[in-house]
Amino acid sequence: MTQNELYNDFLNSGNIVISMSCAEGFGLGEFHAVALGKHCVGLNAHGHKQWMTKENSILVSPSGKEEVYDGMFFHKGQPFNQGNIYTFNEDDFINGCEEAIKRVQLNRINEEGLKLQEKFTYKNLTESVIKDIESI
């Protein structure tokens, strides 16, 4: 989006964010929404595990993996865009959505999600990078 204000308005336009990408890493947009107090239904896999917890999100477990090849962006044997993506059970996802609705009805603000603001700070990032560099 062209301005942070528009992005912020977008993130605050709803109460629930869906983060069910089967191949993405961290999920920055979803992370921002949860840190602003939105409720989340998310796939319990890959980079999501760095910030999604059962306390701040409704976790949907993967049911398996399948090849990623779609004939458009992903072609078998090419040097990029290779591998597998997670799959999930549709009923588990729907149950997660129903749970998210219940959580919103109890409290529109995801209090546990707000705690991400305390954990993911520039100070903590800097200290982590320095620690990693020192360990080399």
- DSSP for residue 48: G
**pLDDT value at residue 129:** 94
φ, ψ at 118 (rounded to 5°) = -80, -35
Beta bridge partners of 16: 39
Residue range 6-64, pLDDT digits in tens: 999 999 999 999 999 887 778 899 999 999 999 999 999 998 999 999 999 999 999 99
Query: pTM (2 decimals)?
Result: 0.87
Q: Which two tokens stand for residue 97?
A: 């959505």
Pick the CATH number of 4-134 from 3.90.1010.10, 3.40.50.2000, 1.20.1260.10, 1.10.3720.10: 3.40.50.2000
d(CA 50, CA 29): 14
